[in-house]
Amino acid sequence: MVDVQDSASAAKPGRGANVGLWILQVLLAAAFLGAGGAKLAGVEMMVEEFRKVGLGQWFRCLTGTLEVLAAVLLIVPRTSGLGALLLAPIMIGAVVAHLVVLKSSPAAPLVLLALAAVVAWGRRDSIRVILGWGGPARV
């Protein structure tokens, strides 16, 4: 006998996966509340890093605001996928900045990008609903 799941239940994470996603979401939220808060507070290391990047301190404030926003979105069940999705371009930019301008290891932003991608994929149904792309994803 073949067990066939409908597309809605196939795309939803199981209980264990849901717990794992929540753990990742809380860890990411904590990391980005800290990093975004440091950028907004004008911590000297952040000010210096953005000076080296050369886009101005307004970009540090924008990045910090987006990181804090993403962190808040990550811990709200309905918007957690959107928070993870928002982090992707921020971390891609950080990887590029580390490689091209800062000449430092991009390991940290790459790990954060990978974790955000896992959460975004796991919460893809909520992203589709928020963005108005219809019902659950069909995999």
Binning pLDDT at 50, 70 and 90, where does residue 135 land? low
Binning pLDDT at 50, 70 and 90, where does residue 134 land? confident
Average pLDDT over residues 13-38: 96
Domains in the chain, number:
1
- Residue range 35-48, pLDDT digits in tens: 999 999 999 999 99
Tell whether 3 is covered by a domain. Answer: no
Residue 12 has phi, psi (to 5 degrees) of -80, 140
- Identify the domain containing residue 70 by its residue range: 13-130
| Residue 50 reports pLDDT greater than 80 | yes
- Return the number of other C-beta atoms located less than 10 Å from residue 87's C-beta: 29
**More confident: 1 or 73:** 73
Tell whether 6 is covered by a domain. Answer: no
| Residue 18 reports pLDDT greater than 90 | yes
Amino acid at 139: V
- Return the number of other C-beta atoms located less than 10 Å from residue 18's C-beta: 13
Tell whether 18 is covered by a domain. Answer: yes
Tell whether 138 is covered by a domain. Answer: no
Alpha-carbon span 28 to 123, nearest angstrom = 14
Residues of the chain above pLDDT 70, percent: 88
Tell whether 2 is covered by a domain. Answer: no
| pTM score of the predicted model | 0.85
Tell whether 137 is covered by a domain. Answer: no
| Residue 4 reports pLDDT greater than 90 | no
Tell whether 19 is covered by a domain. Answer: yes
Tell whether 82 is covered by a domain. Answer: yes
Give the pLDDT of residue 3: 42
The number of residues in the chain equals 139
Tokens 């994803």 correspond to what residue?
Answer: 137
Alpha-carbon span 2 to 48, nearest angstrom = 60
